């Protein structure tokens, strides 16, 4: 097994007195793709926000390699550069071109050479099918194109791990596929990723492991085929029924003719 990259141990997260994440432990190895699923409000976004040091935690620890992740960590800027996050609502700067949006943080935060970054940015844009949009402004792009730019922007920081929070949830259906395909491509390249998604077919195809959260706890930590074909818990079974995922539906016999 590859080396552990991210190690979450006994994480507790509360908002005031509401216990949202209750004793969550999860280790993600280099190159692993984890998909997190669970009912709305179960704490998926909160978990990603904790991993990105956007939220104080009330118990346990989160480590990325040798760094402790905590909003109070001294080296927070350095730690955050190791974590790429893409949200549902792409926040591209409207007054900057696609290329300038991508180049901003590598130039300002990482102080890398402009020529190196632009070469890399164009190569990555090409890989997601958007090289010809480099000099366009965000308003000239579709939602799916903007989301692909947001992914390239995160990749250009050379993160150790990528976090995706329902990145296709706000897209028109015809644009979902193009964004999922980019994520599948990243998985094939061996990127370490934690993905929150409601696209269950995609979840099964892309993941090495499925994490099912309910009631603040990890209820299942499973191989994707096992999770979708034969979930161990009743709670996971009920959750999957909502999606009418073929593999968990009872077989119905009907004569075709």
Ligand X SMILES: Nc1ncnc2c1ncn2[C@@H]1O[C@H](COP(=O)(O)OP(=O)(O)O)[C@@H](O)[C@H]1O
Whether the Cβ atoms of residue 216 and residue 237 lie closer than 8 Å to each other: no
Nearer CB in complex with ligand X: 212/228: 212
Task: Please return the burial class of 165, using the count of CB atoms within 10 Å of its CB with bins 0-12, 13-18 and 19+.
Answer: buried
Q: Which does 197 bind (CB under 5 to 8 A by kind): ligand X, Mg ion, none?
A: none
Whether the Cβ atoms of residue 209 and residue 200 lie closer than 8 Å to each other: no
Compute the distance between CA of residue 153 and CA of residue 215 in angstroms, rounded to an integer. 34
Alpha helices in 6-140 (DSSP H): 44-51, 76-81, 98-108, 114-127
Q: Which does 15 bind (CB under 5 to 8 A by kind): Mg ion, ligand X, none?
A: ligand X
* Enclosing H/E stretch for 39: none
Cβ count near 45 (within 10 Å) = 20
Among 206, 152, 172, CA closest to 36: 206
Does the footprint of ligand X cover residue 44 (CB under 6 A)?
yes
Does the footprint of Mg ion cover residue 168 (CB under 5 A)?
no
Nearer CB in complex with ligand X: 147/197: 197
Q: Which does 20 bind (CB under 5 to 8 A by kind): Mg ion, ligand X, none?
A: ligand X
- CB 213, min distance to ligand X, A: 7
- CB 43, min distance to ligand X, A: 4
Nearer CB in complex with ligand X: 41/94: 41
Binders of Mg ion among residues 15 to 44 (CB under 5 A) are: 44
Count of residues interacting with ligand X (CB under 6 A): 10
Q: Which of 24, 34, 35, 46 binds ligand X (CB under 6 A)?
A: 46
Does the footprint of ligand X cover residue 253 (CB under 6 A)?
no
Does the footprint of Mg ion cover residue 197 (CB under 5 A)?
no
Give 61-91 as a DSSP string.
EEEETTEEP-TT-TTHHHHHHTEEEE-SS--
Count of residues interacting with Mg ion (CB under 5 A): 2
Does the footprint of ligand X cover residue 42 (CB under 6 A)?
yes
Does the footprint of Mg ion cover residue 45 (CB under 5 A)?
yes
Report the DSSP pairing between strands 161-165 and 193-196. Answer: parallel
- CB 40, min distance to Mg ion, A: 7
Does the footprint of ligand X cover residue 41 (CB under 6 A)?
yes
Helix, strand counts (H, E) of the chain: 9, 10
Q: Which does 231 bind (CB under 5 to 8 A by kind): ligand X, Mg ion, none?
A: none
Cβ count near 253 (within 10 Å) = 4
Point out which residues bind ligand X (CB under 6 A): 15, 20, 38, 40-46
């Amino acid at each position: 097994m590859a080396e552990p990259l991210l190690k979450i141990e006994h994480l507790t997260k509360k908002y005031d007195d509401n216990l949202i994440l209750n004793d969550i432990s999860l280790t993600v190895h280099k190159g692993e793709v984890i998909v997190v699923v669970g009912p709305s409000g179960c704490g998926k976004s909160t978990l990603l926000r904790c991993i990105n040091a956007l939220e104080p935690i009330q118990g346990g620890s989160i480590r990325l390699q040798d760094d402790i992740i905590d909003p109070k960590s001294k080296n927070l800027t350095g730690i955050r550069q190791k974590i790429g996050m893409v949200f549902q609502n792409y926040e591209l700067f409207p007054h900057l071109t696609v290329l300038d949006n991508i180049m901003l943080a590598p130039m300002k935060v990482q102080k890398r050479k402009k020529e190196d970054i632009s070469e890399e940015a164009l190569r990555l844009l090409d890989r997601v099918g958007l090289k010809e949009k480099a000099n366009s402004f965000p308003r000239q792009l579709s939602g799916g194109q903007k989301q692909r730019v947001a992914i390239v922007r995160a990749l250009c920081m050379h993160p150790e791990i990528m976090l995706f929070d329902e990145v296709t949830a706000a897209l028109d259906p015809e644009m979902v596929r193009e964004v999922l395909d980019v994520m599948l491509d990243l998985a094939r390249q061996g990127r370490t990723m934690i993905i929150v998604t409601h696209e269950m077919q995609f979840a099964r195809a892309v993941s090495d492991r499925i994490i099912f959260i309910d009631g603040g706890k990890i209820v299942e930590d499973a191989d994707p085929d096992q999770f979708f074909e034969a979930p161990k818990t009743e709670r996971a079974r009920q959750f999957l029924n909502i999606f009418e995922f073929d593999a968990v539906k009872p077989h119905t016999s009907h004569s075709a003719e």
